[in-house]
Amino acid sequence: MKLVVVGGDAAGMSAASQARKRLGPDDLEIVAFEKGHFTSYSACGIPYWIGGAVKERDALIARTPEAHRDAGILVHTRHEVTAIDLDRREVIARDLDGGGELREGFDHLVYATGAVPVTPDWARIDGGGVFGVQTLDDGTAIHAWLESDPKPRHAVVIGGGYVGVEMAEAMVQRGLAVTLLERSAQPMSTVDPDMGERVGEAIRGLGIEVRTDTHVQGLETRDGRVSAVVTPGGTLPADIVVLGLGVRPNTALAAESGIPVGVTGGLRTDLQMRVVGPSGHIDGLWAAGDCVQTVHRVSGQPVHMPLGTHANKQGRVAGINIGGGYATFPGVIGTAVTKVCELEVARTGLTEKEAAKAGFAYVTASVESTSRAGYYPGASSMVVKLIAERRTGLLLGAQIVGREEAAKRIDSLAIAVWNSMTVEEMTALDLSYAPPFSPVWDPVLIAARKATDAVHAAG
């Protein structure tokens, strides 16, 4: 049999590696195509390399193309798959450096093309200096631009989500004057506005100018380079522009090839990561990573949630099944975490807006507490917010904003959401305690108690 993988990062190479573990080269030939120069890398680490916390780009690479080849996976980098013929069971790939084409037949195909940055028409300029942040090639281009002559002095980051906030901080660490533009009333719209307000304060504390309720009208260039960002509130100088407007599933090739696309723009799959069409799963066709849609376990709705954690898990599931084993991917609950200077931000489950959209009546509870016993040195503050269904007390979602040792508490809350616990059940959780690690009542437990009171008060 032959397996062809389209996309050489987390999902695609996880699938290839898992299939190879179960079937040797005599039983399964594996060929992978990657448009960029790199395979199996941490895209999430790019802002930290740009900002200097990570010193070497190659530290972000988990496994090189050469390592995959040594493991019996033939990787073609700088090859873009331009066509997929489902009837002939064949892909066509273009060599981006040497020219020419390759044709590969397949018995199994893993579509793992990832996502692409949202790029409005106004961002498509005849000049350099405008960047998305999705691949390690993108990061390499940004790093080179920051070292170019003349060196950039002013950065404008458009979009205040995870990537935008992390890249704004990275630009400050590189010594640039930074402006962050956000269309909403607060940055970090993945948390509720009351929590996002705290994030905005932290960003401003870094010396970043934050302009909310702002949209971009266009870009200006000079001498082949971006020079300014035009907004209703004025024109901002910009020697580099970073797009943090989100991403969309990279499924254009799939749609052109007759592969059905779901309501989120991602490919629909079953639990085994087999691509699903109108009549059920399509034999031999698999998909994983940022190009697929999945199911939110709380709302029950299809969602596109591009995170490396999901990509690796989905690729692993696909590879196990291709190799003759059995594995499933049961969906997501939206757990995510980031860091802005010393401020940590985390979420899981549904926000208030998402809960309302899903049709839940809910109550909320927020508490301010500390990461350690108040008398123990180094205790820092945090706010924990819970969202619970009004009638049952089911934990629908949680958010944390705080200083050191705050954000990873989201994991215990994610486990509670995943296992459909009520906030009242959570009040009895046997969480660890010692003064260096938490107060005698952990912030999670205090929030659960307050949320339980809110559920009872709501009747």
Tell me what the mean pLDDT of segment 98-107 comes to. 95
My answer on whether 225 and 143 are in the same domain is yes
Numbers of helices and strands, H then E, in the chain: 12, 26
Q: How far apart are CA 308 and CA 202, in angstroms?
A: 26
Catalytic residue among 22, 44, 237, 376: 44
Residue 304 scores a pLDDT above 90: yes
| pLDDT score, position 279 | 85
- Gap between the terminal Cα atoms of the chain: 60
3-state secondary structure of 157: strand
| pLDDT score, position 127 | 86
My answer on whether 16 and 57 are in the same domain is yes
My answer on whether 186 and 213 are in the same domain is yes
Nearest to 367, CA basis, from 386, 389, 353, 340: 386
My answer on whether 273 and 386 are in the same domain is no
Q: How far apart are CA 413 and CA 428, in angstroms?
A: 13
| pLDDT score, position 79 | 98
Q: How far apart are CA 142 and CA 47, in angstroms?
A: 10
* Contacts (Cβ under 8 Å, ≥6 apart) of 109: 3, 4, 5, 6, 84, 89, 91, 284, 285, 286
Q: Are 226 and 220 in contact (CB under 8 A)?
A: yes
Q: How far apart are CA 368 and CA 317, in angstroms?
A: 40
My answer on whether 152 and 232 are in the same domain is yes
Residue 84 scores a pLDDT above 90: yes
Last residue of a domain, one of 271, 298, 322: 322
| pLDDT score, position 342 | 86
| pLDDT score, position 78 | 98
- Residue 197: which domain range? 119-243
In a domain? residue 331: no
My answer on whether 128 and 184 are in the same domain is yes
Tell me what the mean pLDDT of segment 396-415 comes to. 95
Nearest to 331, CA basis, from 360, 366, 367, 307: 307
My answer on whether 142 and 208 are in the same domain is yes
3-state secondary structure of 44: helix
Tell me what the mean pLDDT of segment 19-34 comes to. 97
Calculate ∠ Cα 243-245-246, nearest 5°: 115
| pLDDT score, position 387 | 98
The domain that holds 150 is classified in CATH as 3.50.50.60
In a domain? residue 126: yes
- The residues with which 385 forms a beta bridge, in sequence order, are 366, 399
Q: How far apart are CA 138 and CA 126, in angstroms?
A: 18
Last residue of a domain, one of 322, 347, 372: 322
Measured CA to CA in angstroms, residue 30 lies from 107, 275, 305, 315 at distances of: 10, 19, 28, 14
In a domain? residue 48: yes
Task: Give the pLDDT band of residue 39 (cuts 50, 70, 90).
Answer: very high
pLDDT in tens, 260-271: 899 999 999 999
My answer on whether 55 and 137 are in the same domain is no
**How many structural domains does the chain have?**
3
| pLDDT score, position 25 | 95
pLDDT in tens, 59-70: 999 999 999 999
Nearest to 401, CA basis, from 245, 213, 200: 200
Tell me what the mean pLDDT of segment 347-374 comes to. 96
Peptide bond preceding 249: is omega within 30 degrees of 0, i.e. cis?
no
3-state secondary structure of 2: strand
In a domain? residue 328: no
Task: Give the pLDDT band of residue 405 (cuts 50, 70, 90).
Answer: confident
- Work out the number of other CB atoms within 10 angstroms of the CB of residue 252: 13
pLDDT in tens, 129-154: 999 999 999 999 999 999 998 999 99
Tell me what the mean pLDDT of segment 227-252 comes to. 96
| pLDDT score, position 162 | 92
3-state secondary structure string across 293-334: CEEECCCCCEECCCCHHHHHHHHHHHHHHHCCCCCCCCCECC
My answer on whether 303 and 380 are in the same domain is no
The structure tokens listed for 126 are 């005849």
| pLDDT score, position 427 | 97
Calculate ∠ Cα 254-292-135, nearest 5°: 85
The strands making up 108-111's β-sheet, listed across from edge to edge, are 74-77, 29-34, 2-6, 108-111, 280-287, 274-277
In a domain? residue 330: no
Q: Are 73 and 47 in contact (CB under 8 A)?
A: no
The structure tokens listed for 292 are 């697929």
Concerning whether 44 is annotated as a catalytic residue, the answer is yes
In a domain? residue 81: yes
Last residue of a domain, one of 223, 243, 263: 243
Q: How far apart are CA 319 and CA 324, in angstroms?
A: 9
My answer on whether 361 and 254 are in the same domain is no
Q: How far apart are CA 200 and CA 208, in angstroms?
A: 10
My answer on whether 235 and 291 are in the same domain is no
| pLDDT score, position 408 | 95
| pLDDT score, position 404 | 85
Torsion of CA 129, 133, 135, 137, to 10 degrees: 20
| pLDDT score, position 459 | 80
My answer on whether 23 and 111 are in the same domain is yes
